[in-house]
Structure 1
Amino acid sequence: MGIVLRIIYESIVQALGQLNANRLRSFLSLLGITIGIFCIIGVFSAVDSLEDNVRGSLAKLGDDVIYIQKISWAENPDNWFKYLRRPNVDYEDYEVIKEKVRSAQLTTFYVGIGQKTVKYFQSSAERAYMLGVTQEFSEMFKLNYEQGRFFSPNEYHRGANKCVLGFKVSEAVFGSLDPIGKSVKINGRSYEVIGVLEKSGESIINVMNFDEVVLVSYELARKIANLKSNSLFGDVSICVKAAEGVSVEQMKDEITGKLRAHRRLKPKQDDNFSLNQLSIISNFLSGFFNVLNVLGVFIGGFAILVGMFSVANIMFVSVKERTRLIGIKKALGAKRYIILLEFLIESIILCILGGLAGLALVMVAMAGLSQITDSFQMYLSFNNAALGIILSTVIGVLAGMIPAMQASRMDPVEAMRK
């Protein structure tokens, strides 16, 4: 054991000596390893950061929630023509599900009214998206409030002229003023502001960007807008959360039965509604992220291959320069495996140094990209860093094996003569 540790120590010293004695040659040779590790681990880190952000955004909406809509999220866009005759889900569908689906814990309904301009004296917010929502909406989406509150039952059922503003809408209209109790105008109609939502922040995927919404009660929405539109891309949905202990599949079966009965569909007729889950998006994204990872391996693999041959070249030169020393060691009784380990470990050390440089570049790149974009934080995980070190070690073994074997097989007499 002591011999092996001594070989490792001497190999590290020799590897560092090689780097110091031939700086330019070593730098150019290790550059391929550095670039290869940077490409592969950089892509893996970027994809992991992106995936964590996307899945975190989707998780906020819950894995046990069914979104009943006209169009399936999993459908090929080329086939959307078949949805033209489908009716949009409506308030009556919502009432049926709320009253008859026993496996549901919570049911809410929302309908988009379109983009509006919100005005307060000379200030305004353009392109704020107005939603008419039922009373369970706040609980379903776990809305938090910077100020104020959601609609009371009395305000909801009366269809009172009251609204809840998204953070950015409130900031644009009121600035540093307290918005609660003040009236804004939308399409010439006055609405009292009773709440402001907390800032939800930027995200790669905002399934629903609450920073730029204006929420009104559904009872008010039906007074101020035509909600009977059957547009293919109409923003209308029923959201159903499964009760505790109830599987999503069980709830889907019950919803399907109740909706088919309500819509009087015959047994042989296809459903004219879609039950969407976040798992549909997650499954699609998994394939997308896998493609990005493969692309990173493909790009970085070429750089690593070049780097591997460069390190092998360094080792061949090192063997040639130390031929006489190898002969002396073997003449003094050094075993073949000791010479083999000496050069193999030296090759591994060189590749690990190149890999560490690549990981350092990844860390710098991730930190820089995180500063540039507010959408999500990018990071180098421990697993990816460990993978980089493992890859560097494997490359070192492959690059140093042939030169090390060549050195270990030298005849001591011939080696000393050279």
Structure 2
Amino acid sequence: MLYLRLVYESFQFAWQALRSNLLRTVLSLLGVTIGIFAIISVFTIVDSLERSIRDSMSFVGERIIYVEKFPWIFSDHSDVPWWKFMQRPPATMREYKYMEEQLENAEGVALVSRRGGNTFKHRNNSMSGIMLQGVTKDFNKVAEVPIEEGRFFTQQEVDGSRNVIIVGAEVAENLFPNSSAVGGDIRIRGQKFKVIGVMEKQGAGLFEGMPTNDKNAYVPFGAFGKMFAGGPRGIQPVLMIKGLVDDVGLQNLEYEVKGKMRTVRGLKPYQEDNFAINRSEMMADAIGEMFSIIGIAGWVIGGFSILVGGFGIANIMFVSVKERTNIIGIQKSLGAKNFFILFQFLFESVFLSLIGGGVGILLVSLITFIPMGTLEIILTPGNILLGLGVSVVIGVLSGIIPAVIASHLDPVIAIRSK
């Protein structure tokens, strides 16, 4: 009960200070409000951007290793001349079958070829700018292929290189506006393909031109090869290998893939790798590093405002100690301990800081209602707790010195003060 009464009295003192000097208090808390608003708004927008970018790049997949000619991050291979990358051989069907049989740390292996900018036709309807991919039978084990209507390829269709196709939702809507696309025919480069599946609608990504399943289509790998030439100057396939869930960081899979690729390509111990191993985590790490820098900038910008606000709250507390010196003396003469006085002023300082921080968070929440196209701004509970936590820390730091001074006042001298 003593602590509850202490909190209640501290709350009364803080509220009285807020009401009696409203303009002074508001101006002093403005720095905390602006600072919390700057930090939390930056973090909220950064989190929303990062989430949207990661969602837009879902086509990269999770726990997937890509074996191809070029590395995604060239800074790690700055000592290798560019022409050596060009001379590297692309992945082959023989290598795909070897990896499929030999790998022990893989959940699935697929060989994929891609070609963008394709035009699909159905009767009088046509659509351009479609990404067409030729895939092997276990592609749906490696990458996500969310079928809404129809089915995925059968083993016989892939082995026989049959002209069957799975299309995205936008492709189906444009070519088959008044009927189901499943069972219909689509012409691609003069060849007719039968639609056996339609994928779920994914929606627009954050950046225009980012690949999405809506403008995507899959055909068996052999059927793709009948339309597009392969080889060094043609379409070059990529090996996609999905790791096991318990393989943290895909380290076991990466070591195994590297060894198997060197074996199947007959590389001697002294020869360097003629392939690149890229992981989906590389892109995620690059995105994380970029946004961490933006987050630091938010801390720096908001930190100056919070510093000003902290001095403002400290000023309020020093004035409050001066105005209530007589009351402090009476409290101590009636038996109030030093920690009671200390807690009283600290609570008042934290309460005032929380008001400023709460207003800043409220302003950030208003940003979430502003329409920003495909970018959805969400104020997460984590950012709310961060804002309140920073406000508490600022309140403690701003009020600790005035509170210590108040708690160590001599009761006789304090009572006689005016």
Task: Using structure 2 for the length normalisation, give the TM-score.
Answer: 0.85
Indicate the residue corresponding to 2:228 in structure 1: 225
Cα deviation, residue 56, structure 1: 6.8
Q: Which whole-Å CA distance do the structure 2 matches of 1:235 and 1:169 have between them? A: 25
Cα offset, 1:308, TM superposition? 0.4
Once the two structures are overlaid, the 10-residue window that deviates more, 280-289 or 168-177, is: 280-289
Residue 389 of structure 1 deviates from its aligned partner by 2.4
Contact 1:166 1:199 in 2 (8 A): yes
- Give the deviation of 1:50 after TM superposition: 4.8
5 Å-filtered alignment, 1:268-283, equals 268-283=270-285
Q: Deviation of residue 83 (structure 1)?
A: 1.3
Matched, 1:374 2:374: yes
Closer, same or farther: CA 306–191 of 1 in aligned 2, 3 Å: same
Partner of 2:384: 385
Letter in 2 for 1:316: F
Aligned partner of residue 155 in structure 1, secondary structure: helix
Aligned to 1:10: 9
Secondary structure of the residue that 1:372 maps to in structure 2?
Answer: coil
Question: Equivalents in 2 of 1:196, 1:377: separation in Å?
Answer: 30
* Equivalent residue for 1:364, pick from 353, 363, 366: 366
Q: In structure 2, do the counterparts of structure 1 residues 164 and 24 end up closer, same or farther at CA, with 3 Å as the change threshold?
A: same
CA distance in 1, matches of 2:321, 2:181: 77
Among 215, 223, 233, the residue aligned to 2:218: 215
CA displacement at 1:105 relative to structure 2 = 4.2
Q: How many residues align?
A: 412
| TM-superposition CA deviations, 1:78-108 (whole Å, max 9, x none) | 8471412212223332233234445544221
Deviation at 1:191, TM superposition (A): 2.5
Identify if the C-alpha distance between structure 1 residues 200 and 331 changes in structure 2 by more than 3 Å, giving closer, same or farther.
same
The one-letter code sitting in structure 2 at the alignment partner of 1:221 is F
Q: Per-residue deviation at 1:321? A: 3.3
> Within the alignment, does 1:26 sit opposite 2:25 as a pair?
yes
* Alignment CA distance shift 1:33-1:156 (3 Å): same
Q: Mean Cα displacement is larger for which, 94-103 or 50-59?
A: 50-59
Q: Which residue of 2 aligns with 1:237?
A: 238
Structure-1 separation of matches of 2:333 and 2:100: 90
Q: CA deviation at 1:154?
A: 3.3
User: Could you say which residue in structure 2 is the equivalent of 1:293?
Assistant: 295
Map of 1:219-368 to 2, 5 A cutoff? 219-230=222-233, 236-242=237-243, 248-330=250-332, 334-365=336-367, 367-368=368-369
Mapped contact 2:342–2:403 kept (Cα < 8 A): yes
User: Which one-letter code corresponds to 2:134 in the other structure?
Assistant: G
Helix, strand or coil at the partner of 2:369 = helix
- Alignment-derived partner of residue 36 in structure 1: 35
Equivalences for residues 189-200 of structure 1 within 5 A: 189-200=191-202
> Structure 1 254/6 Cα, relative in aligned 2: closer, same or farther at 3 Å?
closer
RMSD, aligned CA: 3.2
User: Alpha-carbon deviation of 1:12?
Assistant: 0.8
Helix, strand or coil for the counterpart of 2:144? coil
| Contact 2:168–2:214 (CA under 8 A) maintained in structure 1 | yes
Of all paired residues, the percent bearing the same amino acid is: 36
Within 5 Å, give how 1:111-130 maps onto structure 2.
111-130=113-132
Q: Which residue of 2 aligns with 1:162?
A: 164
Separation of aligned partners in 1, 2:287 and 2:317: 44
Closer, same or farther in 2 for the Cα pair 1:244/1:385, shift >3 Å? Answer: closer
User: Contact conserved, 2:118 with 2:131, CA < 8 A, in 1?
Assistant: yes
8 Å Cα contact 1:328-1:416 kept in structure 2: no
Contact 2:35 2:302 in 1 (8 A): yes
**Which sections of structure 2, spanning at least 5 residues, go unmatched?**
none
Aligned AA for 2:320?
A: S
Structure-1 separation of matches of 2:92 and 2:39: 49
With normalisation by structure 1, the TM-score equals: 0.85
Contact between 1:202 and 1:375, CA under 8 Å: does it hold in 2?
no
Q: 1:128–1:330: structure 2 CA closer, same or farther, 3 Å change rule?
A: same
Aligned amino acid, residue 90 of structure 1: T
- Deviates most, 76-85 or 175-184: 76-85
- Please give the alpha-carbon distance, in whole angstroms, between the structure 1 residues aligned to 2:97 and 2:160: 18
Tell me if 1:151 matches 2:153. Answer: yes
Q: 1:270 to 1:346 in 2, by over 3 A?
A: same
For the pair 1:183 / 2:185, whether they are aligned, the reply is yes
How far 1:25 sits from its partner (Å)?
A: 2.2
CA positional deviation for 1:306: 0.6
Distance in 1 (CA, whole Å) between partners of 2:30 and 2:245 is 56
Q: Report the residue type matching 2:380 in the other structure.
A: L
- Give the Cα separation in 1 of the matches to 2:178 and 2:224: 29
- Cα deviation digits, residues 32-81 of structure 1 (max 9, x gap): 11222222233334444555566677788665432111112233298471
SS of the equivalent of 1:76 reads helix
CA displacement at 1:270 relative to structure 2: 0.6
The Cα shift of 1:195 comes to 1.4
- Whether contact under 8 Å (2:46, 2:291) holds in the other structure is yes
Alpha-carbon distance change, 339 to 91 in structure 1, aligned in 2, over 3 angstroms: same
State the alpha-carbon separation in 1 of the partners of residues 73 and 89 from structure 2: 19
